[in-house]
Amino acid sequence: MAVLPSSPLPPTDKNTLTVTDNRTGKTITIPITHNSIPAIAFKALKGEVPEEAKDGVDTDDTANGIRVFDPAFLNTAAISSKITFIDGDKGFLMHRGYPIEQLAEKSDFLETAYLLIYGELPSKSQSEIWKFEVMHHTEIADDLAKVIGSMRYGLPPPPVPSAYDSHPMSVFISAFAAMGAFAPEANPALQGRNLYIQDKAIMNKNIIRIIGKSATVAAASMRVRMNRPFIAPRSDMSFAENMLYMMDATSDAENYKPDPRLAEALETLFILHADHEMNCSTATMTHVGSSLVDPYSAVAAAAAALYGPLHGGANEAVIRMIERIGTVDKVPAFLSAVKAKKELLFGFGHRVYRNTDPRSKIIRQVAETVFAACGHEPLIEVATALKDAALADPWFVEKKLYPNVDYWSGLIYRSLGFPLDFFPVLFAVPRVAGWLAHWKQAIEAPNPKIWRPRQIYVGEKVRDYVPVEEREEWEIKDGREGIMGLPHYQSRRRLGAKL
């Protein structure tokens, strides 16, 4: 990221931005590097402290210069990165310079993970060592397995024996949060803040551990949901094949082998989901990691961000939408309702892509392979009709609403037999590689700093404390309103319920 020079740049320099503060008439010239400017440059534009604040506190913080206000980070770059590039207008995605189409066709997940994390495709010997190490770090500690196995009950409450309905993503997040306790040597809080700068072997060992165990934790979260015993991983299988094996194998596990077509399809899906630049969960991983917390805790935080329906739960929303449409003949009415803002269209459009999601083209081909192996998916006809109708409608084309990767991935996962609430886990497992790549890049950056965004304060000015006896009562209506919903809790207290 560019920095403000110590002396003003000449206004004639084309690679600069000249800004004039009309409040004071002060002009600054800011360098443009990689089509970006340093936000800290605006601190030089200091306004006058408001009259009413001169003898008190300046809540606008005028004396510290202008802040750049960007809710939801719509146009803020917090890092410079060499990992993933997206051209949203052209519908182009590449990792470390390699187009996603080439990686999906020619690579496998573990090789793509190596590329993301270490910057280059591995040599033959590097690839063999890397895959051997990852697949031999797939087992989880017995005590961690007990933690996962205990997360069974949701509603109804015990002792109902069939209530194995804990959300798999909650299990996945909790398992990674707990996993850090089983690796004290990986914790900078215990081993020193420069642990991962001074000891690359420790960094690499824990990267390998996290990737290897991610599939095992995912499979365990599925098995506990099914009330079945955990299956030990197999190091002689590919990454995706091993995950399918751990989820599907029965007591006759030694003779079971997943359908190679499905394993290959899942490998491709994992490549497509491995990284997608600075999205919500990756930003979370980088933000939390900037405190120098252990990577297991950072992965748990990133997985929690992915859990949300606006992020990793999008493909689940697609399935629910298509199920609600039901039949092909109801597609026109549904699209009309979308135009009238009476329905939401999931799986179309993207915050980054303005043309088409390049991953959606690849995943459509994967879908055909899966459907051929698993049998025809009844919803595919509705999904295809919806896609065709939307792409032929000028209203959707004008708004650049094209199918994205979530549109087809949900249908594939459904065809593979995964329950809807397991979809985010299938997203999280490969995305662990991307999270670790950005975590490693941030840790190794020159002079890394803890992330500490600034805010624009718009609250009350300085005021005096009022004793509780002198405060006005809040107006309560229908037992629902009032500050923080307190009337609801008060009624529970009166009933003797636990708060």
Say how far apart CA 282 and CA 264 lie, in whole Å. Answer: 26
How many Å is the maximal CA-CA distance in the chain? 81
For the record, the structure tokens of 442 come out as 């941030």
- Asked if residues 230 and 220 have their Cβ atoms less than 8 Å apart, the reply is yes
Angle between helices 109-118 and 200-226 (to 10 degrees): 140
| Termini Cα distance of the chain | 49
Say how far apart CA 312 and CA 424 lie, in whole Å. Answer: 5
CB atoms within 10 A of CB 472: 6
Q: Which of 276, 287, 350, 438 is catalytic?
A: 350
Amino acid at 213: K
Say how far apart CA 266 and CA 318 lie, in whole Å. Answer: 19
**3-class state of residue 257 by DSSP:** coil
Going by C-alpha positions, the residue among 271, 171, 152, 147 that lies closest to residue 219 is 171
Judge residue 416's burial from the number of C-beta atoms within 10 Å of its C-beta, 0-12 exposed, 13-18 middle, 19 or more buried.
buried
Residue 199 known to be catalytic: no
CB atoms within 10 A of CB 206: 22
Going by C-alpha positions, the residue among 261, 265, 226 that lies closest to residue 246 is 226
- Asked if residues 359 and 269 have their Cβ atoms less than 8 Å apart, the reply is no
Amino acid at 366: V
**3-class state of residue 122 by DSSP:** coil
Name residue 86's beta-bridge partners.
93
**3-class state of residue 193 by DSSP:** coil
Torsion angle of C-alpha atoms 80, 201, 110, 436, degrees rounded to 10: -40
Say how far apart CA 379 and CA 317 lie, in whole Å. Answer: 14
Residue 13 known to be catalytic: no
Say how far apart CA 257 and CA 144 lie, in whole Å. Answer: 26
- Asked if residues 50 and 30 have their Cβ atoms less than 8 Å apart, the reply is no
Q: Which of 406, 438, 464, 488 is catalytic?
A: 406
How large is the C-alpha radius of gyration of the chain?
26
- Asked if residues 434 and 299 have their Cβ atoms less than 8 Å apart, the reply is no
For the record, the structure tokens of 468 come out as 């509780």
For the record, the structure tokens of 108 come out as 């496998």
Strand residues in 155-285 grouped as ranges (E): none
Instruction: Give catalytic residues, as residue numbers.
Output: 350, 406
